[in-house]
Amino acid sequence: MYNIKQVPEDFVVKEVSNVKAGKKGRYTYFLLKKRDYTTEKAIQAVASYLHIDRRRFGYAGSKDRRAVTEQLCSVLGSARNIKIRDLETAAVGCSDTPISLGDLEGNWFEITARNLSGDDLALLKKNYEKLKKGGFRITNFFDEQRFSKNNAEIGKAIAKGSFKDAVSLVLESAGGYEEAMRLYLKEKPNDFIGALRIIPKKVLQLYIHAFQSSMWNKAAMQLRHSKKNISLPLVGFGTEFEDRKTESVFSSLMKEEGITQRDFIIRKIPELSSEGSERSLFAWIKDLKVSEPEKDDLNRGKRKIRLGFFLQKGAYATAVVKELFRPPPS
């Protein structure tokens, strides 16, 4: 069975940005290089090291934790370059506009797949040819990193106004906010909204997005045989369905989850309200390169291969690897 991310260097991500830095502006753009950090934790570490308010930073998208990644970020004002363990920043210019979610074209991935047997390599070859025949198209599923432990469940609880349940689920996770939340609840035992607000806004929003993504995946599973690259909604309070079939699928899913579109207007934590958005049903793997098998230096008697490819923003490289090693249906 293949193995990726055995070491962070097995999963390299280089953001392809669509923003340009100039020579003047209120915001400093900098390249953030990180190893074995989530993007949010890395930004928090940089902010703490430089004694700058976290709210002055911006970035276009979250990158994998167990990886070596490069991405463009912004900070209001100026900031010196830093180099600490597993983190490095380098200023690249200025602008009057901060970098925000979605300000990228996509990502280039360099992935090492390890622990490969002869059967794995044969399967890879067969699936590569199948993907090639289909134009290197895959269903644009959100993958496991989107969800982590309890993320979708926390988002669902928040949307339904079950803040006590949301706090309980967060306390079961390992996001790094549990101790501060417990201390807060010791002082204010019934202030569950206050406890949630200890968590950074971007992370709280990720819980809502994880729940929306979970429903999207379920809908995509039912609609993936479409011949057209339709857009499916990440359902929010403003979602309007383009056709009856899609509306029917999502209506059934929302009924199953006990949720309505109006539930995404979160009056008690209004900054988490979500109007909704869209996501392409399919994604295309561009410039896919597969190396010749090599001896795997970390797994005795096994082989490894290196993959390189570009994906549009929001698409998951791990989903590509799964397609390349997907076993035939039984």
Q: Tokens at residue 68, please?
A: 């070596």
137-164 pLDDT tens trace: 999 999 987 888 899 999 999 999 999 9
Tell which of 76, 102, 128 closes a domain: 102
The CATH number covering residue 134 comes to 3.30.70
Q: Tokens at residue 275, please?
A: 């109007």
Q: Which residue has the tokens 């991310």?
A: 5
For residues 148 and 276, membership in a common domain is answered with yes
pLDDT at 212: 98
The CATH number covering residue 37 comes to 3.30.70.3160
Tell which of 46, 72, 102 closes a domain: 102
CA distance to 39, 200, 306, per residue, from 90 (Å): 16, 25, 28
For residues 82 and 134, membership in a common domain is answered with no
pLDDT at 175: 73
Residue 271's domain spans which residues? 144-280
How many domains would you assign to the chain? Answer: 3
Q: Tokens at residue 78, please?
A: 């100026």
Mean pLDDT for the chain overall? 95
19-45 pLDDT tens trace: 999 999 999 999 999 999 999 899 999
Decide: helix, strand or coil at residue 43. Answer: helix
Is 1 part of a structural domain of the chain? no
In this model, does residue 330 exceed pLDDT 80? no
Cβ–Cβ under 8 Å, residues 273 and 265: yes
Is 67 part of a structural domain of the chain? yes
For residues 133 and 159, membership in a common domain is answered with no
Q: Tokens at residue 288, please?
A: 């896919």
In this model, does residue 174 exceed pLDDT 80? no
Report the b/e string of 290-314 with b at 16+ CB within 10 A: eeebeebeeeeebbbbbbebbbbbb
pTM of this prediction?
0.86
Is 6 part of a structural domain of the chain? no
pLDDT at 11: 97
